[in-house]
Amino acid sequence: MEETVTLQAQLANALHSAVQLQQFELYYQVQVDSQQRPVGAEALIRWEHPQLGIVSPSDFISLAEASDLILSIGQWVLETACAQLKRWQSQLHTSGLSVAVNISPRQFHQCNFVETVLQAIASCNISPSLLKLELTETVILDNTSETIEKMHQLQRAGVEFALDDFGTGYSSLSHLRSCPADYLKLDGSFIRALGEDETDDPIVRGIVQLAHSLNMAVIAEWVTTDAQIDRLRLLGCDLVQGYRIGRPVAATAFGTSATTV
């Protein structure tokens, strides 16, 4: 336990200088439609630490969220993702691809969040409808009316929203009803057994129908087998993402992986 505490403290220290030292990189994981056509990618941050190697966000995002560090990291992610969208927009075979950016609760609740996003879009001159912001339920649970107003402001500008990891946390139906998200991301835990047994079929079918009746499209995460892809198509899921389709890769490798899907 002592070792874990020391490691956490070391990570927190190193994280402070990581932004200035440009140790972050965005990886992109392709998302495809039911015909397996690439429609976009989720941007996932990686920290290339000189001694530790590549550190996964699960090991440092919560640390960053405990302080204002998440704000500078989040800003870097947003600007880098918009710059990538700009590059994709300028090439014929990638011009329609969207980028989904994970937004932390602390970042979203900043009073200038809407302006920050609009500024990033304007300075890269990208189409706002190609930017998707992924929020988790915790964001919506805190200060619901302010959250909805911010989402509406950005949606009026064309930006889309996805509700991430749905089905694990509270999954409150009253919050879902008032949440103006465009996409619902079905948590990977419901996908695991699909195609092997039928235990989770009713849950997935029910969530897909619920989302569709609220005018949301459904994205399934953590898709690792062809059987899951087939089952998800039958159950009406709109988009899929997971290792079976493509692992998160650096932007330079993405072009080739996305076009070979």
Instruction: Answer yes or no whether residue 164 interacts with ligand C2E by CB under 6 A.
Output: yes
- Site for Mg ion contains 241 (CB under 5 A): no
Which position among 13, 56, 91, 123 is part of the footprint of ligand C2E (CB under 6 A)? Answer: 56
Tell me if 48 sits within 8 A of 247, measured CB to CB: no
Residue closer to ligand C2E (CB basis): 87 or 93: 87
x/- map, 108-137, ligand C2E, by CB under 6 A: --------------------------x---
Pick from Mg ion, ligand C2E, none: which does 155 bind, CB < 5 to 8 A by kind? none
The letter for the amino acid at 208 is V
Q: Of 113-121, 172-180, 200-208, 220-228, which part binds ligand C2E (CB under 6 A)?
A: 220-228
**158: its two tokens:** 């064309």
Kindly calculate the radius of gyration of the chain based on its CA atoms and give it in whole angstroms.
Answer: 18
Amino acid residing at 239: L
Give least dist CB 107 to Mg ion, A: 13
Q: Does 11 bind ligand C2E (CB under 6 A)?
A: no
Note whether 238 binds Mg ion by CB under 5 A: no
Q: Give which of Mg ion, ligand C2E, none residue 56 binds (C-beta under 5 to 8 Å, depending on kind).
A: ligand C2E
Q: Which stretch binds Mg ion (CB under 5 A): 27-35, 128-136, 176-184, 209-217?
A: 128-136
The DSSP element (H or E) to which 164 belongs, if any, is strand 160-166
> DSSP character for 56?
P
Q: How distant, in Å, are the alpha carbons of 60, 115, 178 from that of 69?
A: 11, 19, 30
- Say how many C-beta atoms besides its own lie within 10 A of residue 51's C-beta: 6
170 or 243: CB nearest ligand C2E: 243
CA triplet 143, 186, 240: central angle to 5 degrees? 130
102 binds Mg ion (CB under 5 A): yes
The SS3 of residue 192 is coil
222 binds ligand C2E (CB under 6 A): yes
Q: What is the DSSP string of 209-220?
A: HHHHHTT-EEEE
Which residues, numbered 186-215, are part of the site for ligand C2E (CB under 6 A)?
none
Residue 222 binding result from Mg ion, ligand C2E, none, given CB thresholds of 5 to 8 Å by partner type: ligand C2E
Pairing of strands 249-250, 24-33: antiparallel
137 belongs to the binding site for Mg ion (CB under 5 A): no
CA distance 26 to 76: 10
Provide the binding-site residues for Mg ion, judged by CB under 5 A.
Answer: 102, 134, 164-165, 221
